[in-house]
Amino acid sequence: MIAEALALSALLFTIGVVGVLTRRNAIIVFMCVELMLNAVNLSFVAFSKLYGATGQVFVVFVMTVAAAEAAVGLAIIISIFRHQESVNLKDINLLRG
């Protein structure tokens, strides 16, 4: 089952990458990043079946980082929305000059 789980993890990660590249809604881009983190978690769990429970400990850490990232990222999106009235990444070009 480990090989299948790793293949599934690779597929989910790729779908997440494609989502990040194609979508322009900042919130959906964030959700795609969460999907990529989930795919990595799946490989961690698959390897933990082979190498012991350390992989599951790492999954706990990844979940913590994902939660922190979601909180801060969404706060940033809200504060961008206050300035620009939009969450479309096309409209967020303050640094373009």
Partner 1 sequence: MGNEFFSLLYSFHFYLFGLIAVAAAIAFVTRKSPVAAAMWLVVTMFCLAALYVMMDAQFIGVMQVLVYAGAIMVVFVFVVMLLNLGHPSELSDISGKWGRLFAGFLGLALVAEILTLTRSPMDLRLVVPTIPVTVTSTGGIIGGVSGPLFREYLLAFELTSVLLLIAIVGAVVLGRKRSAS
- Supply 7's token pair: 């293949």
Cα 20 to its chain centre, rounded Å, is: 9
CB burial of 55-69 (b: ≥16 within 10 Å; e: otherwise) equals: beebbeeeeeebeee
Q: What's the sign of the alpha-carbon dihedral 19, 61, 71, 94?
A: negative
Please, what is the minimum distance in Å from the beta carbon of residue 76 to partner 1?
6
Of the candidates 31, 42, 55, 59, the residue with the CA atom closest to the CA atom of residue 2: 42
Binding to partner 1 (CB under 8 A) within 29-88 occurs at 30-32, 34-35, 38, 41-42, 45-54, 56-57, 59-61, 63-72, 74-79, 81, 87-88
Please, what is the minimum distance in Å from the beta carbon of residue 55 to partner 1?
8
Please, what is the minimum distance in Å from the beta carbon of residue 57 to partner 1?
5
Positions touching partner 1 (CB under 8 A) are: 1, 3-5, 7-8, 10-19, 21-25, 27-28, 30-32, 34-35, 38, 41-42, 45-54, 56-57, 59-61, 63-72, 74-79, 81, 87-88
